[in-house]
Chains A and B, each alone.
Chain A
């Protein structure tokens, strides 16, 4: 079955702009989590959605937001971009929130802010 799909794979924005990233989870998976990966900070948890509801949120400013649709697809939005937002944004899906199994990751969306 198809894996987790993230679009776009690469994008370049300038400071002050906003960006929307999309994640299509594995069919049947209802939980979607987002992570920010940078060389200095490693993997940091942004938020998790399950059945269209945000279940957990990491320690990021309000400029970072997300949502999940009824088909479990998820989007995250970053407004008023800053240079420090340059990162690889990873989406991960799982069957249900808080399961004991595995997170399935997409290949990420690499955002560069100039």
Chain B
């Protein structure tokens, strides 16, 4: 069975500063990794995903995440955040068949002016 740890429940950061949201996973099989974002009063939206290939994946709004198999991590980073990035971010893992999705507890990112 898979599990996901997001050590930081809340991350406050000033606008235009860099941010890293940490995600570690545990699994006995190969996995696929995802970051989802939830804006207030909305459902979750896929931000980016790692299935195979390059270990660095990017989203269209400037976020990137790097799959590190040896450290079983998939940390999310953005070099310069905006107020509009304020949201809750969920790391998720599925097995190599795309089944058994498991979500982390979430990290609430608050971007301060």
Contacts and interface: CB of A to CB of B under 8 A. Distances in A.
B97 A98 contact: yes
25 contacts: A35-B103, A42-B104, A42-B106, A43-B90, A43-B103, A43-B106, A45-B101, A56-B99, A56-B100, A90-B44, A92-B43, A92-B44, A97-B99, A100-B94, A100-B98, A101-B98, A102-B46, A102-B49, A103-B36, A103-B46, A105-B43, A105-B44, A106-B43, A107-B43, A108-B43
B103 A42 contact: yes
Please indicate which of the listed interface residues A97, A103, A106, A108 has the most CB atoms of chain B within 10 Å of its own CB. A103
B91 to A, nearest CB: 11
A90 B103 contact: no
Given A90-B44, A107-B43, A100 B51 contact: yes
State which size class the interface on A falls in. 20 to 34
A106 B106 CA distance: 18
B56 to A, nearest CB: 18
A113 B106 CA distance: 24
A105 B45 contact: yes
Interface in A84-114: 90, 92, 97-108
Interface string A39-69: 0001101000000000010000000000000
Contacts of B45: 105
Given A103-B36, A107-B41, 11 more contacts: A42-B106, A56-B100, A90-B43, A98-B98, A100-B97, A101-B49, A103-B101, A105-B36, A106-B43, A107-B42, A108-B43
Contacts of B63: none
A108 B41 CA distance: 8
Interface of B: 32, 34, 36, 41-46, 49, 51, 90, 94, 97-106
A4 interface: yes
Contacts of A43: 90, 103, 106
A2 B44 CA distance: 16
Complex A-B, nearest 4 residue pairs according to Cβ-Cβ distance, in ascending order? A105-B43, A43-B103, A98-B99, A100-B98
